[in-house]
């Protein structure tokens, strides 16, 4: 991964590069971003840049011996730690480790903007809880006592330290505070609020913002996505490039039509229709279900924006504008907030593999109570 392969984030990239140029790289940094931010990809590009033998002013060269290894994620001085479920089918631990590392590399190559769910899917972890174990922290310490093999630096990328077992986190505190010379830690988190204060106090925090709509749109344009579809995807993705890319291949969803129909059904308390819509919802795949709820949240937010009169920050276009205006007539701020909360909760339960049918029907019933008490 090189910086130029990552859309947007110009300021952050410059800051990271300047620190290397000025030899002021903090020994432990925490790349913190919301889910969907490109903090892992940035960490990978940063590692490539640090190791590059022929650094440019804006990026790694991409062709030197170090870069060619970094781009395949096989540079011996870049180490990775990531959450893993209990998938050990293999008694031979070394063989298992080699296998999982191979899977990890192909994950990074195939889904460079992938999230934890994608990673769990890639190694076949299914529902098992993924975490970073205590043994892993011993490995980290052991690995970092070795001198760099080829580069001037050793880099330890810890992805999602929020999934560290507390004893694993405690196990690395000392080395995190005083790492061996020329060793850099890059911790990459999507949930900074879940990290131990002892970890936070030992790292320099670098905030990685989500991409803005134009950056996502530009990226979609390079993939040949038609401009009206770009608009739809941008509204659904809300700065999450990984999600935007997944949506390229998904069907055009007619969410607006479905959503207004659903709200009408709830308003009329048409229970027969609710059951039909539940079946329809259930037939969507998991991503489709998630996106439909995401779209519903977008419409709630748009209705609030409509109430506040801040049309500048509105994302809706075309027929959605009329829907929001009409919907605004039967809603008020309190109601929108309640419905918004219900949809968020439903989304949360769905992510945790609750029954789609139950969740959606229950949601419909609760919404109908709010819309039409």
Instruction: Verify binding: residue 1, Zn ion, rule CB under 5 A.
Output: no
When the beta carbons of 61 and 297 are compared against Zn ion, the nearer one is 61
First to last CA, the chain: 54
When the beta carbons of 51 and 301 are compared against Zn ion, the nearer one is 51
Stretch that binds Zn ion, among 64-72, 201-209, 233-241, 291-299 (CB under 5 A): 64-72
Pairwise CA distance, residues 41 & 10, whole Å: 14
Q: How many residues bind Zn ion (CB under 5 A)?
A: 6
**The CA-based dihedral angle spanning residues 136, 140, 143, 149, taken in that order and rounded to the nearest 10 degrees:** 120
Please count the other Cβ atoms lying within 10 Å of the Cβ belonging to residue 66. 25
Instruction: Verify binding: residue 122, Zn ion, rule CB under 5 A.
Output: no
**Token digits of residue 126:** 């299914």
**Phi, psi at 204, each rounded to 5°:** -90, 125
Shortest distance in whole angstroms from residue 50 CB to Zn ion: 10
Alpha helices in 124-226 (DSSP H): 134-144, 166-177, 197-200, 213-222
**Token digits of residue 51:** 């190791």
Residue listed under structure tokens 């007619």: 254
Alpha-carbon 267 to chain mean position: 34
Instruction: Verify binding: residue 64, Zn ion, rule CB under 5 A.
Output: yes
Instruction: Verify binding: residue 17, Zn ion, rule CB under 5 A.
Output: no
Pairwise CA distance, residues 201 & 94, whole Å: 34
Please count the other Cβ atoms lying within 10 Å of the Cβ belonging to residue 328. 15
Shortest distance in whole angstroms from residue 65 CB to Zn ion: 8
What are the distances in angstroms from CA 101 to CA 98, 107, 206? 5, 10, 27
Residue span 300-339 as binding mask against Zn ion, x where in contact by CB under 5 A, dash where not: ----------------------------------------
Residue among 61, 122, 144, 370 that touches Zn ion (CB under 5 A): 61
Q: Which of residues 169-188 bind Zn ion (CB under 5 A)?
A: none
Q: Do 139 and 172 touch, CB atoms closer than 8 A?
A: no
**Phi, psi at 50, each rounded to 5°:** -60, -40
Residue listed under structure tokens 């106090």: 201
In eight-state DSSP terms, residue 147 is: P
Stretch that binds Zn ion, among 53-61, 149-157, 270-278, 301-309 (CB under 5 A): 53-61
Shortest distance in whole angstroms from residue 184 CB to Zn ion: 17
**Token digits of residue 348:** 């949360």
Residue among 16, 38, 50, 60 that touches Zn ion (CB under 5 A): 60
Pairwise CA distance, residues 157 & 199, whole Å: 14
Instruction: Verify binding: residue 200, Zn ion, rule CB under 5 A.
Output: no
Shortest distance in whole angstroms from residue 71 CB to Zn ion: 9
Compute the radius of gyration of the chain from its Cα atoms.
Answer: 23
Instruction: Verify binding: residue 5, Zn ion, rule CB under 5 A.
Output: no
Pairwise CA distance, residues 188 & 190, whole Å: 7
Bridge-based pairing state of the strands 28-32 and 204-207: parallel
Shortest distance in whole angstroms from residue 1 CB to Zn ion: 12
Instruction: Verify binding: residue 20, Zn ion, rule CB under 5 A.
Output: no
Stretch that binds Zn ion, among 62-70, 165-173, 266-274, 298-306 (CB under 5 A): 62-70
When the beta carbons of 152 and 325 are compared against Zn ion, the nearer one is 152
Q: Which of residues 262-281 bind Zn ion (CB under 5 A)?
A: none
Shortest distance in whole angstroms from residue 53 CB to Zn ion: 5
When the beta carbons of 64 and 144 are compared against Zn ion, the nearer one is 64
Shortest distance in whole angstroms from residue 60 CB to Zn ion: 5
When the beta carbons of 68 and 319 are compared against Zn ion, the nearer one is 68
Instruction: Verify binding: residue 52, Zn ion, rule CB under 5 A.
Output: yes
Q: Which of residues 202-241 bind Zn ion (CB under 5 A)?
A: none
Residue among 1, 17, 28, 67 that touches Zn ion (CB under 5 A): 67
Instruction: Verify binding: residue 71, Zn ion, rule CB under 5 A.
Output: no
Residues binding Zn ion (CB under 5 A): 52, 54, 60-61, 64, 67
């Amino acid at each position: 991964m090189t910086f130029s392969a990552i859309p947007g984030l110009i300021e952050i990239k410059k800051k990271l590069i300047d620190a290397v140029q000025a030899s002021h790289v903090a020994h432990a940094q925490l790349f913190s971003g919301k889910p969907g931010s490109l903090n892992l990809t940035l960490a990978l590009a940063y590692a490539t840049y640090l190791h590059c033998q022929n650094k440019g002013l804006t990026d790694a060269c991409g062709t030197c011996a170090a870069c060619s290894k970094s781009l395949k994620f096989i540079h011996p001085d870049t180490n990775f730690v990531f959450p893993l479920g209990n998938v050990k089918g293999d008694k031979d631990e070394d063989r298992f480790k080699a296998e999982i590392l191979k899977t990890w590399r192909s994950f990074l190559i195939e889904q460079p903007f992938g999230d934890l769910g994608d990673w769990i899917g890639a190694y076949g972890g299914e529902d098992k809880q993924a975490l970073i174990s205590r043994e892993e922290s011993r490995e980290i310490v052991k690995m970092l006592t070795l001198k760099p093999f080829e580069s001037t630096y050793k880099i330890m990328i810890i992805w999602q330290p929020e999934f560290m077992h507390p004893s694993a986190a405690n196990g690395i505190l000392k080395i995190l505070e005083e790492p061996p010379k020329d060793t850099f830690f890059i911790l990459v988190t999507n949930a900074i609020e879940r990290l131990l204060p002892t970890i936070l106090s030992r790292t320099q925090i670098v905030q990685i913002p989500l991409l803005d709509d134009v950056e996502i749109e530009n990226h979609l344009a390079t993939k040949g996505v038609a401009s009206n579809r770009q608009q739809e995807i941008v509204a659904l993705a809300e700065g999450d490039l990984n999600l935007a890319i997944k949506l390229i291949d998904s069907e055009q969803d007619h969410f607006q039509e479905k959503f207004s129909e659903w709200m009408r059904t709830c308003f009329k308390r048409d229970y027969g229709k609710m059951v039909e819509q539940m079946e329809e919802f259930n037939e969507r795949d998991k991503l489709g279900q998630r996106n439909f709820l995401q779209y519903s949240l977008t419409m709630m937010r748009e209705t609030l924006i409509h109430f506040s009169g801040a049309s500048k920050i509105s994302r809706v276009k075309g027929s959605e504008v009329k829907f929001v205006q009409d919907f605004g007539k039967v809603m008020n701020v309190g109601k929108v907030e309640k419905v918004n909360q219900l949809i968020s909760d439903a989304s949360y339960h769905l992510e945790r593999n609750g029954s789609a049918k139950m969740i959606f029907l229950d949601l419909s019933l609760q919404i109908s109570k709010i819309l039409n008490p």
